[in-house]
Chains A and B, each alone.
Chain A
Amino acid sequence: MSVTFVGVTPKGYLKIGYDQNGTKANAQALYNATTATGRNGLDDAFDAMLGWFPGSTLKYLWPLRLF
């Protein structure tokens, strides 16, 4: 399964997708697992990254988009 994230920009957002080797159900499950847990998902990872790179203005909008 290919998971594609597109457009992490100061005004962008992430997208999650799948290809012919994966299924929408699996992509949906992965999406749910990484986002539905609230602070235990990618939010915490982004917070950590913001702390690692002082001076960066990179922001993100939430949640991930499944397409």
Chain B
Amino acid sequence: MGSPPNFTVQVDDNSSPWWLIFLVVSEVTEMFMLDQGIGWFSGSTKLGDVGSNGDEGTPGEALSRYLSVQYMLQVGQLASVTANYQGVGNQWLSTSDRTNYLPDTNSDNNPDARIGCCRMHKGHFWEAIGLN
């Protein structure tokens, strides 16, 4: 995401509108994180102030993934996107040591075990404990 914010999502001619919506929710939630200005983005606090190192990082990527799935659940369309969705929770669960990446605030936003750890943590917070 640059400044001004923009992003490209890759879909094919067989993509469903719900997959497109899923991707939009995933990416635009990150813009909301930036605009909210409470520290989700490294190096930036507001839209229009995206530093060269500014991205959502591990916690933000995990949050956008969590919320996009929550939105699909909310509208009853999760099954429409699961074929395309690259889950990360199992990547972390499949590691031998299940390292705690929660203190990790680096700029990693690739779908990996690091993101998976944070994604699982958000699910535990909001679904098991009921915090938001």
Interface size on A, residues (CB 8 A): 33
Residue interface bits A23-66, CB-to-B below 8 A is 1, else 0: 10010001001100000011011101110111111100000000
The residue that B11 contacts in the complex, of A9, A10, A30, with Cβ under 8 A, is: A30
Chain B residues packing against A (C-beta within 8 Å):
4-13, 15, 17, 20-21, 24-25, 27-29, 31-33, 35-38, 47-48, 67, 71, 74-75
B25, A45: Cβ atoms closer than 8 Å = yes
Q: In whole Å, how far is B66's beta carbon from the nearest beta carbon of chain A?
A: 10
**Alpha-carbon gap, A52 to B30, bound state (A):** 11
Residue interface bits A1-22, CB-to-B below 8 A is 1, else 0: 1111111111010000000011
Chain A residues packing against B (C-beta within 8 Å):
1-10, 12, 21-23, 26, 30, 33-34, 41-42, 44-46, 48-50, 52-58
Given A34-B21, A45-B71, A58-B35, do A1 and B12 touch, yes or no (CB 8 Å)?
yes
The residue that B15 contacts in the complex, of A7, A12, A30, A44, with Cβ under 8 A, is: A30
The residue that B32 contacts in the complex, of A26, A42, A56, with Cβ under 8 A, is: A56
A-B contact pairs, 21 of them (CB 8 A): A2-B9, A2-B10, A4-B6, A5-B8, A9-B4, A12-B4, A22-B12, A23-B13, A30-B15, A30-B20, A34-B20, A41-B17, A44-B75, A45-B21, A45-B71, A49-B67, A52-B29, A53-B35, A54-B36, A55-B37, A58-B32
Q: Which 8 pairs show the lowest CB-CB distances between chains A and B?
A: A33-B17, A53-B32, A58-B35, A6-B6, A56-B35, A56-B36, A4-B8, A26-B13
**Alpha-carbon gap, A14 to B5, bound state (A):** 11
**Alpha-carbon gap, A60 to B75, bound state (A):** 21
A2, B8: Cβ atoms closer than 8 Å = yes
Given A1-B12, A8-B5, A12-B4, do A34 and B17 touch, yes or no (CB 8 Å)?
yes
Q: In whole Å, how far is B19's beta carbon from the nearest beta carbon of chain A?
A: 10
